[in-house]
Amino acid sequence: MVETWTTMGSTIASFMFVWAIIRQYCPYELRQFFKRYIHRFMGYFNPYIRISFHEFRGDRLRRSKAYSNVEAYLSANSSTNAKRLKAEMGRDSSKLVFSMDEYERTTDEFRGVEVRWLSSKVVSQTARLTINNFPQPETRLYKLTFHNKYREIIMESYLEHVLRKGKEIRVKNRQRKLYTNTGHRYCSSHKQTMWSHIVFEHPATFETMAMDRVKKQEIVDDLLTFSKSKDFYKRIGKVWKRGYLLYGPPGTGKSTMIAAISNLLNYDVYDLELTAVRDNIELRKLLIETTSKSIIVIEDIDCSLDLTGQRKKKAKKSSEDENIDDKLNKESAKKETKEEAGSSKVTLSGLLNFIDGLWSSGAGQRLIVFTTNYVEKLDPALIRRGRMDRHIELSYCSFEGFKVLAKNYLDLDMHPMFDAIKNLIGETEITPADVADNLMPKSSLDYAEKCLSNLIQILEEAKEEAAKKKDEEGKVNDPTI
Ligand SMILES: Nc1ncnc2c1ncn2[C@@H]1O[C@H](COP(=O)(O)OP(=O)(O)OP(=O)(O)O)[C@@H](O)[C@H]1O
Ligand SMILES: [Mg+2]
């Protein structure tokens, strides 16, 4: 027996010695070759199982969700027993968040079973690891090690527990983002994207929005139902997305509502500037790059582009002109072509495809929101039901809306001056933005009464103005004058 152990010990020692020499002197390829066989040999004696979670998926295009979940789980658990930690500012920038540093170990316990985690990285000496054609010098990974006798409990319960907890932590810590397609292409460490982003922090909520209570509740219910309807959309064979058209005069809360939706559903916002999109192909690329749980917004869609199909004709005309021998004409045609090249060539059909073509069927939930001041200007095809599922009008401030704003800005539920405002506000067209502006204390000496009496004065002036206008219109239309 002692002899067997001695033989085994010396065999392992010889292997270790050979491995040390290989590491020192052999080229990378040869080392990889030997490594494979040494691992296989060691496997006969090693009772431990190891599972690796690599940072990128096999296709190298996206970060692995399993890796991200493990990372989040370990960040929450490792700080208790890991000795080397990385510190970063947390979501609200008020607290440090710790995670395991590179090549650091930590242990975890699950139903009395101890497991070990190691954070590691693969360094590519030949820079053959590329993601979207960008050479990746290194990618990170986590290694989980546990005894073979606990294989069942770890594989069936522990890993499920780690991934679920990690996902919960990620959702809690997720920073919402506001993306834009204007400006330069953005190149992150692993891929080039057409969107650039900032952290999105907007205080608007449905609670602080001044609008009809019933209508507001309907919208909130509709959004919450949508966000929980994965199975329903699958069952009826529809892509999990919904279109909202927000229309109304300037300053009635269309953009504010987009922020409130993002805060309600915890979705990212993609603010798509159509005039900065070169053509339909670029539009499709932008769409593919959007992630699940997002709102794709096109503001002021009526003035974003000429989407009436005229564009093609114009382009044709300028190329016809080029054939004319006359020098003057040639020059003007050249000028036109130059102007055309600088502008967007997105067409109505390209936009319709963007909304509900096959390319829009990527996994996950998406809201598409258009805003406009002039709903009547839009092509009916663009806003028909099924494309824009809900048409929401945001209009002038009602008394109910005013009360929400008074609560937001002055922390007032009731006040004797409210009666006067109630009478006046029903007879004037004042936007919530204007009401809000008047309720904002202009100096530290301004207090509620002053703000309210300012508002009353503005409302009275608006009422007089409206009456004057009506009078003048009446005179113009009166055939006796
Ligand atoms: N319904 C509302 N509830 C609460 N605040 C509002 C509302 N409407 C406007 N406001 C206030 O007025 C400001 C301007 O509103 P917002 O930008 O949402 O208007 P809009 O409808 O998007 O206008 P535009 O058509 O010019 O883009 C906001 O910052 C907000 O403070
Ligand atoms: Mg707006």
245: domain CATH number is: 3.40.50.300
Report for 55-59, 126-130, 469-473: range of highest mean pLDDT: 469-473
* Helix (H), strand (E) at residue 410: helix 399-410
Pick the residue whose CA is nearest to atom 13 on ligand 1: 433
Pick the residue whose CA is nearest to atom 5 on ligand 1: 209
More confident residue, 405 or 79: 405
Residue type for position 8: M
Same domain for 116 and 129: yes
The interface pTM score, or ipTM, of the predicted complex is 0.99
CB-count exposure of residue 88 (10 Å: 0-12, 13-18, 19+): exposed
The arithmetic mean of pLDDT across residues 10-15, rounded, is: 68
Q: Is residue 126 part of a domain?
A: yes
What atom in ligand 1 is closest to the CA of residue 210?
Answer: 3
Local confidence band at 93 (pLDDT 50, 70, 90 cut-offs): low
- In this structure, of 112-116, 325-329, 446-450, the range with the lowest mean pLDDT score is 325-329
Contact by Cβ (8 Å): 261, 267: yes
Q: Is residue 28 part of a domain?
A: no
**How far apart, in Å, do the first and last CA atoms of the chain sit?**
124
Between the CA of 432 and the centroid of ligand 1 the distance, in Å, is 7
Q: Which ligand is nearest to the CA of 433?
A: 1
The arithmetic mean of pLDDT across residues 6-33, rounded, is: 71
Nearest Cα to 345, choosing from 298, 307, 381?
Answer: 307
Same domain for 327 and 237: no
Same domain for 235 and 147: no
Q: Which ligand is nearest to the CA of 397?
A: 1
211 lines ligand 1 (CB under 6 A): yes
Same domain for 260 and 209: yes
Q: Is residue 431 part of a domain?
A: yes
Q: Is residue 350 part of a domain?
A: yes
Nearest Cα to 401, choosing from 377, 433, 378?
Answer: 433
pLDDT for res 340: 45
Among 118, 139, 173, the domain boundary falls at 173
Proportion of the chain in helix, strand, coil states, percent, rounded to 5: 50, 20, 30
More confident residue, 67 or 309: 67
**Is pLDDT at 62 greater than 70 in this prediction?**
no
pLDDT for res 46: 79
CA distance 108 to 142: 14
CA distance 97 to 72: 10
Angle between helices 448-477 and 418-425 (to 10 degrees): 20
Q: Is residue 26 part of a domain?
A: no
Same domain for 160 and 56: yes
**Is pLDDT at 436 greater than 70 in this prediction?**
yes
**Is pLDDT at 309 greater than 50 in this prediction?**
no
Nearest Cα to 179, choosing from 46, 99, 295?
Answer: 295
pLDDT in tens, 359-418: 666 668 899 999 999 999 888 888 888 889 999 999 999 999 999 999 999 999 999 999
Q: Report which DSSP code applies to 101.
A: P
Pick the residue whose CA is nearest to atom 7 on ligand 1: 253
The arithmetic mean of pLDDT across residues 201-212, rounded, is: 94
433 lines ligand 1 (CB under 6 A): yes
210 lines ligand 1 (CB under 6 A): yes
Among 126, 148, 173, the domain boundary falls at 173
Q: Is residue 455 part of a domain?
A: yes
Q: Is residue 184 part of a domain?
A: yes
Q: State the residue range of the domain holding 423.
A: 399-477
The arithmetic mean of pLDDT across residues 323-351, rounded, is: 56
Contact by Cβ (8 Å): 69, 170: yes
Local confidence band at 425 (pLDDT 50, 70, 90 cut-offs): very high
Q: Work out how many domains the chain is built from and give that number.
A: 4
Residues with CB under 5 A from ligand 2 (ion): 254-255
Local confidence band at 337 (pLDDT 50, 70, 90 cut-offs): very low
pLDDT for res 94: 61
Torsion of CA 225, 227, 231, 234, to 10 degrees: 110
pLDDT for res 150: 94
Q: Is residue 11 part of a domain?
A: no
pLDDT for res 228: 93
What atom in ligand 1 is closest to the CA of residue 249?
Answer: 25
Same domain for 338 and 349: no
pLDDT in tens, 158-203: 999 999 999 888 888 778 899 999 865 544 444 456 888 898 989 9
Same domain for 91 and 234: no
User: What mean pLDDT is reported for the chain?
Assistant: 80
Local confidence band at 324 (pLDDT 50, 70, 90 cut-offs): very low
Range list of β-strands (E), 379-464: 390-393
Same domain for 215 and 299: yes
pLDDT for res 267: 93
Same domain for 253 and 357: yes
CB-count exposure of residue 282 (10 Å: 0-12, 13-18, 19+): middle
pLDDT for res 322: 43
pLDDT for res 169: 86
CA distance 42 to 415: 81
Same domain for 228 and 82: no
**How are beta strands 177-180 and 196-199 bridged, if at all?**
antiparallel
Among 144, 173, 202, the domain boundary falls at 173
Share of the chain above pLDDT 70, in %: 77
Same domain for 350 and 267: yes
pLDDT for res 126: 52
Share of the chain above pLDDT 90, in %: 40
Pick the residue whose CA is nearest to atom 14 on ligand 1: 251
Q: Cβ–Cβ contacts within 10 Å for residue 71, how many?
A: 22
**How are beta strands 390-393 and 241-247 bridged, if at all?**
parallel
pLDDT in tens, 237-257: 888 999 999 999 999 999 999
Same domain for 339 and 352: no
Residue type for position 349: S
What atom in ligand 1 is closest to the CA of residue 208?
Answer: 4
